[in-house]
Amino acid sequence: MSVYAYKGLDARGKSVKGVRDADSAKALRNLLKRDGILATEILEQSEAARKAARDIDFGKLFRRVTTLDVAIATRQLSVLLRSGVPLVQALSALIDQLDHPELKTAFTDTRNQVNEGANLADAMKAHPKIFPTLYVNMIAAGEASGTLEEVLARLADFLDDQTRLQSKVRGALAYPIVMAVVVFLILFLMMSVVVPKVTSIFENFNQSLPWYTSLLIWVSNLFSNYWWLLGALLAGGIYWFRRWRDTEEGRKKWDIFVLEVPLFGPLLTMVAVTRFSRTLATLLASGVPVLTAMDITRNVLGNTELMRVVENARESVREGEGIAKPLREGDRFPPIVTHMIAVGEQSGQLEEMLIHVADAYDQQVEVRVGAMTSILEPLLIVVMGAVVGGIAFAILMPLLQLNEMIQ
């Protein structure tokens, strides 16, 4: 017996679609006819998936699946299941609404495996780029406890929070990066085009130039004549830096550095605390075992120094102790965070306390991002003004001295 996807018209002329088992397409057509449905299209599941892939909007083909895309699909699936729709039919209805081809393919394959008897979590494991370990483990816990609808809703909320947090961090980092690039391009243009034309008048001087003017001319000649060498050095530096950072020792030193760098270090620590607290709380509330939850939470931090601290906490839990003490001894999590976790462990309300921590630090991230933007904007303008002013000073001073000599 095979699985077929069908489309047809009911007795009222309304379009219907669905998935059913049958010995053949002809047998399914007869079954549908007895149910009052005139079949207009019957395709085996594998063929239906290929047809869906051919019918995709190629304008969306190169857009990668975002966390927000997965969050929306997860929430829609939760609503369908809460409404009493069986899982396979809910997945089919969800697939019909999806636009992104990669996400559509992942859910189609998941539906096919579920229809063949696999668990939802096991079916999703085949698509780790769409459904990460955290997602799959929460689904497995929801299936085991019979609370899949609630877990899906909780997952959607978690992914929405992650999307908002990522947007805040990207907004904080985008402005200074763009401004730095603009300052570099302006400086390169002035040094390679404008300054050489202006300083060419100094060639007829019979007097020595000030050291800062000589330095300006030397830098200008470097940019004009050896820009290719500077580009090669920059590319080589980036290449060797990335190779060094990919080593175990390099990654460790770099991750410690980014946590301690002024201005950005505290922000990244706040983001890590928010991610740690919300992820662990969501996993524990969904019924994931604490050791598994700690292991997943450690891997989503993305910083080896913080991962080391969380791993120590995980080993502490394995030995029957608490989470708060090793986090406090790691000296990377703020004292207020470890204190609140300790209170949550003692009161048996760890999940609720972690949510409070995540919400509090989420607000702090928003405040810190606003403060950082307000500081960096005038700071970069001042730096740019100082650079342009220094160039103008180095050019004008010899001209003023020449004018005094002529008078």
* pLDDT per position as a tens digit, 302-320: 889 999 999 999 998 888 8
Q: Give the C-alpha distances (Å, rounded to integers) separating 28 from 1, 48, 82, 223, 356.
A: 11, 15, 29, 75, 54
Cα distance between residue 104 and residue 110, in whole Å: 10
**Is residue 226 domain-shared with residue 312, that is, in the same domain?**
yes
Decide which of 94 and 209 is more confident. Answer: 94
**Is residue 90 domain-shared with residue 30, that is, in the same domain?**
no
344-359 residue pLDDT tens: 988 888 889 999 998 8
269-308 residue pLDDT tens: 888 888 888 888 888 888 888 888 888 888 888 889 999 9
Look at residue 392 and tell me if it is in a domain: yes
Least confident of 95-109, 265-279, 320-334, 388-402: 388-402
What share of residues in the chain are helix, strand, coil (percent, to 5)? Answer: 75, 5, 20
**Is residue 252 domain-shared with residue 380, that is, in the same domain?**
yes
Look at residue 158 and tell me if it is in a domain: no
Cα distance between residue 139 and residue 331, in whole Å: 33
> pLDDT > 70: what percent of the chain?
90
Supply the DSSP symbol for 202.
Answer: G
Exposed/middle/buried for 111, CB within 10 Å: 0-12, 13-18, 19+? buried
pLDDT band at 56 (very low <50, low <70, confident <90, very high): very low
CATH of residue 109: 1.20.81.30
**Is residue 299 domain-shared with residue 359, that is, in the same domain?**
yes
Domain range for 70:
58-131
Q: Give the C-alpha distances (Å, rounded to integers) separating 241 from 228, 237, 246.
A: 20, 6, 9
Residue 45 φ then ψ, to 5°? -55, -45
**Is residue 331 domain-shared with residue 276, that is, in the same domain?**
yes
| Mean pLDDT, residues 133-160 | 86
Look at residue 149 and tell me if it is in a domain: no
What is the structure's pLDDT at 58?
A: 45
Which amino acid, residue 77?
Answer: L
**Is residue 258 domain-shared with residue 321, that is, in the same domain?**
yes
Please state, as a whole number, how many other Cβ atoms lie within 10 Å of the Cβ of residue 239: 10
Decide which of 25 and 261 is more confident. Answer: 261
**Is residue 67 domain-shared with residue 183, that is, in the same domain?**
no
| Mean pLDDT, residues 90-119 | 87
Query: What are 18's strand-pairing partners?
Result: 6
Count of structural domains within the chain: 3
Please state, as a whole number, how many other Cβ atoms lie within 10 Å of the Cβ of residue 114: 18
**Is residue 82 domain-shared with residue 188, that is, in the same domain?**
no
Decide which of 145 and 405 is more confident. Answer: 145
Residue 63 has pLDDT above 90, yes or no: no
Mean pLDDT taken over the chain:
82
Look at residue 217 and tell me if it is in a domain: yes
What is the structure's pLDDT at 13?
A: 67
Residue 406 has pLDDT above 60, yes or no: no
Cα distance between residue 304 and residue 302, in whole Å: 7
14-37 residue pLDDT tens: 777 777 777 777 887 888 888 888
Q: Tell which of 131, 148, 178 closes a domain.
A: 131
**Is residue 64 domain-shared with residue 36, that is, in the same domain?**
no
**Is residue 23 domain-shared with residue 123, that is, in the same domain?**
no
Handedness of CA 180, 181, 183, 184 (dihedral sign): positive
Cα distance between residue 130 and residue 136, in whole Å: 10
Look at residue 140 and tell me if it is in a domain: no
Residue 165 has pLDDT above 50, yes or no: yes
**Is residue 186 domain-shared with residue 69, that is, in the same domain?**
no
Q: What is the CA radius of gyration of the chain?
A: 31
Decide which of 32 and 336 is more confident. Answer: 336
Look at residue 121 and tell me if it is in a domain: yes
**Is residue 288 domain-shared with residue 405, that is, in the same domain?**
yes
Look at residue 153 and tell me if it is in a domain: no
What is the structure's pLDDT at 257?
A: 92
Which residue in this structure is represented by tokens 């992942």?
106
181-237 residue pLDDT tens: 887 888 888 777 777 777 777 766 666 777 887 888 888 888 878 888 888 998 999
Cα distance between residue 391 and residue 111, in whole Å: 65
Cα distance between residue 316 and residue 298, in whole Å: 14
Look at residue 152 and tell me if it is in a domain: no
Q: Taking the CA of residue 15 as centre, how many other CA atoms within 13 Å lie in the half-sphere pointing to its CB?
A: 3
pLDDT band at 61 (very low <50, low <70, confident <90, very high): very low
